[in-house]
Structure 1
Amino acid sequence: MNKRNALKKIVAYVILTGATGLFVACSPNAPKFTAIDITGADYAKDFALTDHNGQQRTLKDFQGKIVMMFFGYTQCPDVCPTSMAEMTEIKKLLGQDGDRLQALFVSVDPERDKPEMLKAYMENFDPSFLALYTTPEKTAALAKDYKVYYKKVDGPTPTSYTIDHTAGSYVYDTTGKLRLFTRYGTKPELTVADIKQLLPSP
């Protein structure tokens, strides 16, 4: 009889705690993002890349900041400059919290995107933004880990190719955890609202 009562209590506890989890998930206080919420995703956890100043970088270097990470290339005619300009606007709209945002541009074209070119490209948008690169082989491995698509499209000459690639940015919170994927073309104001929900109070 005691065993039966004990079992009933255990089952009741499991049901209660499970229900509590559901209530928390459905709570009106839970974050509601415009971007795709990928909290807990088992990929894109870290990277080891070189920035345009020649410094080795990992996510740990940006602890305490929101990180927005975009994959592109400097000779991209439209999506890349538009996305970086939107990041510039996002930083501006964050006001005093703008310094708590780190924008990262990861090159999918390391054969043409040399450090000096990447640095000049970042300076067109914001001097605090960093461009990152690695070898072609490691770029492919990184893209696979980040579930990023890219493929060369031949041009009229061997060096005038373009690259089709994933458009959108990963967002990490201030502890370095992957939280969001922002779609290309999302209004900066909406991304700012998402970011503010990830920023801990000063």
Structure 2
Amino acid sequence: MTFPELETRRLKLMEITEGDVEAYFNVMSLDRVTKYYGMESFKKKEQAAEIIRAFRTGYESKRSMRWGIILKDTGTFIGTAGLNNLQIGQKKAEIGFEIHPDYWRSGITSEAANAVIRYAFEELELFRIGAVTFLENHSSYGLLEKIGFKKEGILRGYIFQNGVSNDTYVYSLLRAEWQETVDAPVLNDSRI
């Protein structure tokens, strides 16, 4: 089963392999990255290797898909984006992403997320993509709103991290809503 590769203007989204252990560890060992992630920062490279193996297992069982985000111009692995809780028969999944702080606020996360969303709606023919984010994670839900997700409500005590059950927002984007934005005329946007 060949893992699909996606490409954008600045990025290649590729399967995460054992060769990416160190680069993935370098992202997920940072407290700034995992602060609102739902898991503790990695302390050992073996943790990164274990998650990468889980990514492959999730893909093979058709329960998830996770791409490594690679900068085209340098070949640098800077984070991941993908679909969690994938239920192809129910036509739904949840999106997730994280990138190294050196690349925050550069539009890269939006670019990667939009490629994953396009794949999910066009290739997997999903109907709904959900997202869950901590109430305090303004950057994450700001990005979700920017790319068309709608807030549905609050999930109380939904993510346990650092000894605390945290409330989260739940967001969603439906294929018909996404299709409207794809079909809309493109306005001149100097950030692109």
The answer to which structure has the higher helix fraction is: 1
Please give the TM-score of this superposition, normalised by the length of structure 1: 0.26
The answer to which structure has the higher strand fraction is: 2
Please say which structure displays the higher CA radius of gyration: 1
Question: Greater RCO between the two (CA within 8 Å, min separation 6)?
Answer: 1
